[in-house]
Amino acid sequence: MADLAIDPRMELNPPLVQGGMTYADVTEKVAAITEQAPPKQWYVVFGISVMLAGMLFASLGYLVVTGIGVWGNNSPVGWGWDITNFVWWIGIGHAGTLISAILFLFRQRWRTSINRAAEAMTLFAVACAGIYPLFHTGRPWRAAYWLFPMPNEALHMWQNFRSPLMWDVFAVSTYATVSALFWYVGLIPDLATLRDRAKTKIRQIIFGIMSFGWRGSARQWRHYELAYLLLAGLSTPLVLSVHSIVSFDFAVSIIPGWHTTIFPPYFVAGAIFSGFAMVVTLMVTARYVYNLQDLITIKHLENMCKVMLATGMMVGFAYGTEFFIAWYSANPFERFAFVNRAFGPYWWAYWSMILCNVISPQFFWFKRFRTSIPVMFILSIFINIGMWFERFVIIATSLHRDFLPSSWGYFSPTIIDISTFVGTMGLFMTLFLLFLRFLPAIAISEVKGVLHHQINQQKGGAH
């Protein structure tokens, strides 16, 4: 897109689209998924997901009528699973934006097969994340007045914009909005494709309205490509800012274990790490269920494994740096916080994190494991678990033993904490399965662009 010349090294074998597909094959393969009844597995997984999502809403309903005491948060651990889950979900979303924006600017054409689904994953992950701060207010229907600068008669006051929590509100809501815009702009030409091949009037009308009457004229593509490029350019610093600002929630405080200058890059690397793990988990499954091996090739998956290896190493390096700085600072509270983190009552969480985040990605040094679907699937789940533990370790271990030993405590989740967390996974899967069922899960027009390039390469022609 946007006259991006490509690094010739990216064009070496194997090709990005396999199986000798034509343009029409790409349309057929992707669009047919939305036009047929889904396979049986879809109904099974969807049924389970909807039930879990129901559990989420029941838990939230119980919280609203009872109070946020139904969660395990209490003094001294005032932030428990809610913020852990919030940061975890936001982090997962980051891979989608990284794939759609940063890899686009870096001209990594392999992203075209996975960007649409990864962006959808971002939206749904951010939606799940948003639930936690919203319901942590206890009165979600009034949260808008507390979170956003809305003039109102009830409070007669304004938010404190010097607080990182306010920055977080703006960062996350901007991120959600821009991700949704980016995703929808990408969808417009593909929705027009669905409109033009619609076999029923109702599909034609729905996709006609959704595609805004897109025609794919050269003049439209000209503005469209620039809009896409600009959105990628805007999303790139945005995605880096979001987790940086999320990390300010911690880093700007004075709690030992939180008050750390490396938090922004460390959080961003961790976010990309967990996000790619989630993309691999989902894409391996979708590829298998919908037979998309020609479009999502082993090369795509291997590249994602490489990203996981690199970001996993960064995260491991950050864990080491934190310990070094705690020792080097000679601050007894800082030193205690870190010794307590690894060897205190939460040692099991800390070492689970190390095992999942630092040890497990090391397998990706070997091509054999990078190209093995079962290995990458299992490791991606390990990484997701590890990244959840990372956030839990940062939050719970730093809070549970603060400066005054008389107020030390231990955080245990309640059943509602657990049902809410598992419930958000249900909501996430419900939304993702609906997306796979009804919208083109692969960016049809972008894949055709890659294919066009590939055809020219084979002919030896210039692009």
Partner 1 sequence: MATLDRIIDRLPLPAFLKHEDAGKHYGVIGDFDTPEDLLRAIRTARAAGYSKLEAYTPFPIHGIDEALGEGRSPLGKIVIVCGLAGLTLAILLQWWTGAIDYPLVVAGKPLFAFEPSVPIMFELSVLLAAFGAVLGMLALNKLPQYYHPAFNYSKWAGATNDRFLLAIEAKDPRFSAEEAITFLNAAGSRHSELVEA
Minimum CB–partner distance for residue 462 and partner 1 (Å) = 10
Minimum CB–partner distance for residue 161 and partner 1 (Å) = 4
Minimum CB–partner distance for residue 353 and partner 1 (Å) = 28
Nearer to partner 1, 65 or 462 (CB): 462
Nearer to partner 1, 158 or 348 (CB): 158
Q: How far apart are CA 327 and CA 385, in angstroms?
A: 28
- DSSP, res 51: H
> For the stretch 120-135, what's the b/e string if a residue is b when 16 or more beta carbons lie within 10 angstroms of its beta carbon?
bbbbbbbbbbbbbbbb
Nearer to partner 1, 23 or 62 (CB): 23
Nearer to partner 1, 76 or 208 (CB): 208
Minimum CB–partner distance for residue 172 and partner 1 (Å) = 9
Nearer to partner 1, 212 or 328 (CB): 212
Minimum CB–partner distance for residue 163 and partner 1 (Å) = 8
Minimum CB–partner distance for residue 273 and partner 1 (Å) = 23
Minimum CB–partner distance for residue 17 and partner 1 (Å) = 13
Task: Kindly list the distances between the CA atom of residue 175 and the CA atoms of 17, 111, 129, 267, 368, in Å, as whole numbers in the listed order.
Answer: 31, 20, 12, 16, 37
**Cβ-Cβ contacts under 8 Å for 196 (sequence gap 6 or more):** none
**Cβ-Cβ contacts under 8 Å for 202 (sequence gap 6 or more):** none
- 444: three-class secondary structure by DSSP: helix
Nearer to partner 1, 241 or 285 (CB): 241
Minimum CB–partner distance for residue 393 and partner 1 (Å) = 26
Nearer to partner 1, 231 or 315 (CB): 231
Q: Which residue has the tokens 């601050």?
A: 331
Helices (H), 9-114: 23-35, 40-66, 81-97, 103-105
Minimum CB–partner distance for residue 184 and partner 1 (Å) = 8
- 114: three-class secondary structure by DSSP: coil
Structure tokens at 147: 């979170």
Nearer to partner 1, 183 or 273 (CB): 183
Minimum CB–partner distance for residue 55 and partner 1 (Å) = 33
Q: How far apart are CA 104 and CA 443, in angstroms?
A: 13
Yes or no: say if 138 and 191 are a contact pair by the CB < 8 Å rule. Answer: no
- Considering only CA atoms, which of 441, 424, 426, 433 is closest in space to residue 90? 424
Nearer to partner 1, 24 or 65 (CB): 24
Nearer to partner 1, 214 or 350 (CB): 214
Nearer to partner 1, 306 or 463 (CB): 463
- Considering only CA atoms, which of 311, 314, 292, 313 is closest in space to residue 301? 292
Yes or no: say if 113 and 446 are a contact pair by the CB < 8 Å rule. Answer: no
Q: Is the backbone of residue 2 left (phi > 0), alpha (psi -120 to 50) or beta?
A: left
Yes or no: say if 23 and 451 are a contact pair by the CB < 8 Å rule. Answer: yes
User: Count of residues for the chain?
Assistant: 463
Structure tokens at 341: 């983190």
Minimum CB–partner distance for residue 192 and partner 1 (Å) = 5
Yes or no: say if 167 and 247 are a contact pair by the CB < 8 Å rule. Answer: no
Q: Is the backbone of residue 444 left (phi > 0), alpha (psi -120 to 50) or beta?
A: alpha
Minimum CB–partner distance for residue 194 and partner 1 (Å) = 9
- 463: three-class secondary structure by DSSP: coil
Residues that bind partner 1 (CB under 8 A): 1-3, 22-24, 27, 149, 157-164, 166-167, 170-171, 174, 177-178, 181-182, 184-185, 189, 192-193, 195-197, 208-209, 212-227, 230-231, 234-235, 237-238, 241, 245, 248, 444-446, 448-449, 452, 461, 463
Nearer to partner 1, 2 or 325 (CB): 2
